[in-house]
Amino acid sequence: MATHRPRIGILTGGGDCPGLNAVIRAVVKSSFRLGYECLGFLRGYEGLVEPVAWTPLNPQVTAGILTRGGTILGSSNSGRFTALVGENDRVAIDPQLLDEAAATLRSLRVCGLICVGGDGSLSIAQQFHEHGIPVVGVPKTIDNDLGATAFTFGFDSAVATATDALDRLHTTAASHERIMVLEVMGRHAGWIALHAGIAAGGDVILIPEIDWNFDHVCRAVLAREAGGKKFTLIVVAEGARLPGGKSVQADSALPAGSGDQRRQVRLGGVGEVVAGEISRRLGREVRTVVLGHLQRGGQPTPFDRVLATQFGAHAVRLVHQGRFGEMVCYSPPDINSVPIATAVSRLSQVAADSSAVLAARALGIAFGDDAPLAGPFAEPPGA
C-alpha cells in the first residue's frame, strides 16, 4: 500500500512586500528535509475555499526566488477572509468559511498551515486557531507595526526605498532651494518615516505618534533658512494626523452602496496637505512626492532575506513540534515564538521618548512639536 507523506501548507495574505518569496523558499526546503510535502495556497486565504486554488511546491519550483519581490503564490487583502485591525474593530470570520477551510486542509492531508501576513492576516490566523485549525504565523509588514517582534521582514526593504528617494530629493531640493515633502507608508505607525528620515538626513519628520502643528513645522523651516540652509526635506508618514487629530484619507473605506464592511480606509494625501499649508504660510515653492507602492516592491534587502529565511525555517519547526497558534518572532539575536493572540493584541508604534527619536532631536531634526530635548541629550540645568 502506498504511503503518503504529511503535508505543510503555506499562504501569503495581505499586501505584498519584499521577502515573501524568501519565506516560501525556506518553508519548502525545510519541509522536504524533514520529510514533508508542501502545498501553496493561491491568493491568500481565498485559496482555501476556491476550487483548485493550490499548487504543489518543491525545491525545484522555488529555486531562484530568494531575491524576487512579491509572492509566487499571490495575495489578497480583501474578500471573504478579512479581519479589520489597527484602529478599526476586528471582524469575525463566517464560521461556515472556517469550516470550509478546515475541510479543504483535511482533504489535502495538510497537518499544519503557515500563514504569512501582517496584523490583519494574523488576526484571521488566530480565528483559525480558535476554530481548531492547525496554524503557525509568520509576521510580514513593511509598517513594522506588529507587536512581539523587534522587526518584521519587508520593513528594512521599505526603509531602503524611502531612504534612496530622500537621497535623490536632497540634491534637487538643494539645487533649487525648495522645500520637498516625501509621503511614506506605515498606516498608524511612523517607523518607516522615522528610520528613513534619520538615514537620509531629513530635516522634519511627522509621524502619527507625535502631535505636531504647522506653526512649529514652519518655524523649523525658517530656522534652517536663518542658518543659511535654503532647502528643507520633510518626511511625512501617511498616518500622521493633522493638527486637531484628523487623518487624511485617500478615499472612503468603501464605494457608495458596496455593502462590504470589511475594507479598511486607505490613508494617503497628507503630504499634499502639508505642502499646501506650508506654501500658503511661507510663500515658498513646495513640492510633494508620494512613494506609495514603490515601497512594497522590488528585491528584498540582505537583512530581509536573512530574516525571512529564518522565519520560514522556524515556522516549519513549530509545525513539526505541534506548536500551533504561535507566531515566529525576532528577539535579537534569536528567532523565537509567541502566541499569535499576543502579537495581534496591540500595534507596535514609535515611542516619543525612544532612543531613535531622542537621537534625531539631538541632531536637530524637528518633529513639528515644541517638546524640549529629553533623556541623555537634555540640556543641563541653567544652560
Which of 143, 156, 203, 304 is an active site residue?
Answer: 143
Identity of residue 315: A
Residue 168 to residues 26, 163, 180, 256, Cα–Cα distance (Å): 35, 9, 11, 40
Tell me how far the alpha carbon of residue 4 is from its chain's centroid. Answer: 38
Identity of residue 374: A
C-alpha–C-alpha distance, residues 154 and 162, integer Å: 12
Whether 26 and 309 have beta carbons less than 8 Å apart is answered as yes
Whether 348 and 151 have beta carbons less than 8 Å apart is answered as no
Label the pairing between strands 232-237 and 204-206: parallel
Among 190, 161, 194, 187, which residue's Cα sits nearest to residue 289? 161
Is 304 tagged catalytic?
A: no
List all residues 6 or more positions away from 276 whose beta carbon is below 8 Å from its beta carbon: 286
C-alpha–C-alpha distance, residues 279 and 275, integer Å: 6
Catalytic positions, written as ranges? 143
